[in-house]
Amino acid sequence: LLCTWFLSIIQNEFRSGKINLDITMKLFDKLQIRYDYVHLKHVFKKTTEKRKAPTINIEDFRAIYRTLVHRPEFHELFCTYAPNQKVLAETELITFLKKEQFETEANETTALEIISKYEPIEEMKKRREMSFEGFVRYLNSEDCLIFRKDHKIVYQDMTRPLCEYFISSSHNTYLISDQLIGPSHLWGYASALLKGCRCLEIDCWDGSNNDPVVYHGHTLTSKISFSSVIQVIDKYAFAASEYPVVLSLENHCSPKQQEVMADYLENILGNKLLSSAINDEVPTELPSPEALKFKILIKNKKVGTLEETILRKGEDSHGETGEILEEAEDDEEGDEKNPASPLIELPKRKCESESTAPPRKKPKMKKIKVAIELSDLVIYTKSQKFESFEQSRESQKCYENNSIGETRARKLAKQSAQQFIAHTARFITRIYPKGTRTNSSNYNPQEFWNVGCQMVALNFQTPGVPMELQNGKFLDNGGCGYILKPEFLRNLNSTFSPYKVAGETTPVALSIRLISGHQLPPSNLSKGNKADPLVHIEIYGVPEDQMKKQSSVVKGNALSPRWNETFTFTVQVPELALIRFNVEDQVSIAGNEFLGQYTLPVRSLSKG
């Protein structure tokens, strides 16, 4: 049956006897087999070199197909459950699903669904059996990904207050390169939104002809118009997720141009813009992502209270301004935003906590003018300067949010982790990179997720471990950009600290068998398709869970390296842990070359 099926699909192409690389690739597509071009080309070339001709015959094609598709580790597994080593009957498939895939509920229906979906030979389907060809397609399918299928959809409770979620957040979203001379581009917004980002940053400055512009102020980064940014956001806001988008405005505009901004926001975004409180009520807690579906929220400085905004509803406040008193050096991203004016802090002695530190010298104050029209668009995300945990606990309202620079936030997390967690259980807290990161580098977001910070803003344009952790974390919950924080980071009376986790959580024993790789990217140093791959398995989470283990090196094989090594981990706080598989090519003793990586939450690992 296998031979008949295989020939029926490929024989047409061999009517003239032989085929070239292009037709070989088309046949792989026709057989619904994914392949890597470099590896297919290399195996094809080796075959033609033996033949001393640029084409191959039907037997050569079968050999190439077997090399790329019939992986020995798949065949060993198949033969373990197929008594005649030819086919898996539905009962044998059920045994495989229960034993290997830990699908304890697997039954006849499950098996028949898999056969119907992946078995390419019609005759086999009718017999309710699976051939090795079907088994290969099943093991290579989405149903066998390491990421749990039930986490690919929104499965968490989305009716909790906004402050109870981690929110995918971007820093200086308009920049697509460095922070000083690189371009500002609309693609920064489109690409972040398409990745499920839910909090975007817009730096607004007065432009010519009374038209506000977006760029990194006091630098040579290029300028784009505010209106074009809002148009792109309007187009892509809900392409990847239906949950609310927060526009974090860093506003340097005159009141006149702030009114222009308010006009653009209202006219372009229309009813997507959240411009009044739900039911015109002052909340005692923030609304939920569910209640704010398909809404865009404005995060900005606000004059007065939400009560006053509600009372003003329907009035024409054109031309009206209010004043906000703040430190002369401060703006939304105060202390660390501007590399030209760093805030120098004297080191504290170890025994001093944030609350016992000597008071800072009284800063110079300045008055900021805010247009009421723009101020009244700020509803649940009012930017409020962070003074101290005590001050916030006493006087901060639930709809007031803080932005804290990474250096200060890191110090607070280490010195007062429990106070920080109590703060983020009540208020949305945004962390942003320090101003000296002019090359758009990123900090490790994990240390701020560990204390419950909701908006840990990263430079999305910069690849590397921090963005890989970000992308991996937010694969969870259907990639919707909102992840419900663990209970111990939401509970107002939590005693959890990431630095002392014993007794606070339930640890998980994790065992990973690294079996093999397939069609890995070849080494840059290889003329063919070779590499010397090794795998790092890394855990990111609370300090006690940070761990890295390394496999052996498989020499000269990027096509089908086999390891068969088992690694065990004890993860103390699985709710916060991410696991990263990092594949490298061993180039020399001095260093390795990155080949690829995959990061996902430990809780989203699929067994089997």
CA 323 to chain centre: 38
**pLDDT exceeds cutoff 90 at 104:** yes
The answer to whether residues 481 and 454 touch, using CB atoms and an 8 Å cutoff, is no
Least reliable range by pLDDT among 153-162, 180-189, 207-216, 484-493? 180-189
**Nearest alpha carbon to residue 533 among 565, 556, 510:** 556
pLDDT band (50, 70, 90) for residue 392: very high
Token pair for 154 = 């929104």
Query: Quick one: 504 exposed, middle or buried, by C-beta within 10 A (0-12, 13-18, 19+)?
Result: middle
pLDDT digits (tens, 9 = 90+) for 308-355: 999 999 899 999 999 998 876 655 555 455 544 333 334 444 444 444
- pLDDT value of position 357: 52
What's the pLDDT score for residue 135? 98
Query: Quick one: tokens of 600?
Result: 């996902």
Model confidence at 237, in pLDDT bands (50, 70, 90)? very high
**408 Cβ partners below 8 Å, 6+ apart?**
335, 336, 345
- In this model, does residue 122 exceed pLDDT 70? yes
* Number of other CB atoms surrounding residue 13 within 10 Å: 16
Tell me: the pLDDT tens digits for 275-286? 999 999 999 999
| pLDDT, tens only, 52-74 | 889 999 999 999 999 999 999 99
CB-based contacts of 396: which residues, under 8 Å, 6+ apart?
384, 402, 426, 427
The pLDDT score that the predictor gives to residue 238 is 98
- Contacts by 119-126, CB closer than 8 A, 24 or more apart: 120/5, 120/31, 120/32, 121/1, 121/2, 121/5, 123/1, 123/5, 124/1, 124/87
Q: Is the pLDDT of residue 48 over 60?
A: yes
Joined together, the tokens standing for residue 245 give: 């988008």
Given this model, what pLDDT does residue 121 score? 96
Secondary structure (H, E, C), 500-554: ECCCCCCCEEEEEEEEECCCCCCCCCCCCCCCCEEEEEEEECCHHHCEEEECCCC
Of 287, 72, 300, 67, give the one whose Cα is nearest residue 163.
Answer: 287
Q: Measured between alpha carbons, how far is 87 from 569 in angstroms, rounded to an integer?
A: 37
Q: What is the dihedral of CA 397, 398, 401, 407, to 10 degrees?
A: 90
Whose structure tokens read 């939104």?
Answer: 193
Give yes or no for a contact between 88 and 78, defined as CB atoms under 8 angstroms apart. yes
Distance between CA atoms of residues 148 and 163, nearest Å: 26
pLDDT (tens digit per residue) in 12-42: 999 989 999 999 999 999 999 999 999 999 9
Stretch 580-587: mean pLDDT: 96
Nearest to 455 by CA among 286, 246, 287, 151: 246
Quick one: pLDDT at residue 327?
Answer: 79
Helices (H), 416-464: 417-426, 446-449
Share of the chain above pLDDT 70, in %: 94
Residue 436: how many other CB atoms lie within 10 Å: 12
Average pLDDT over the chain, rounded to an integer: 93
Closest CA to 199 of 162, 228, 226, 235: 162
What are the distances in angstroms from CA 411 to CA 58, 119, 456, 478, 571?
67, 57, 16, 33, 25
The pTM for the full model equals 0.92
With contact defined as beta carbons under 8 Å apart, do 542 and 572 qualify? yes
Is 316 in a helix, a strand, or coil? coil
- Annotated active-site positions, please? 171, 216
Residue-level pLDDT at 585: 97
With left for phi above 0 and alpha for psi between -120 and 50, is residue 266 left, alpha or beta? alpha
Is 60 exceeded by the pLDDT of residue 193?
A: yes
| Rounded CA Rg of the chain | 29
Q: Residue 283 to residues 20, 190, 276, 441: CA-CA distances in angstroms?
A: 69, 32, 12, 38
As a whole number of Å, the end-to-end CA separation of the chain is 30
Do 196 and 166 touch, CB atoms closer than 8 A?
A: no
Give residue 330's pLDDT: 55
pLDDT at residue 457 above 90? yes
Contact 60, 47 (CB under 8 A): yes
* DSSP H helix total and E strand total for the chain: 20, 21
Distance CA 151, CA 410 (A): 31
CA distance 244 to 428: 14
CB of 166 closer than 8 Å to CB of 482: yes
460: left (phi over 0), alpha (psi -120 to 50) or beta: alpha
pLDDT at 453 over 70: yes
Residue 584 neighbours by CB under 8 Å, 6+ apart: 533, 534, 535, 536, 592, 593, 594, 595
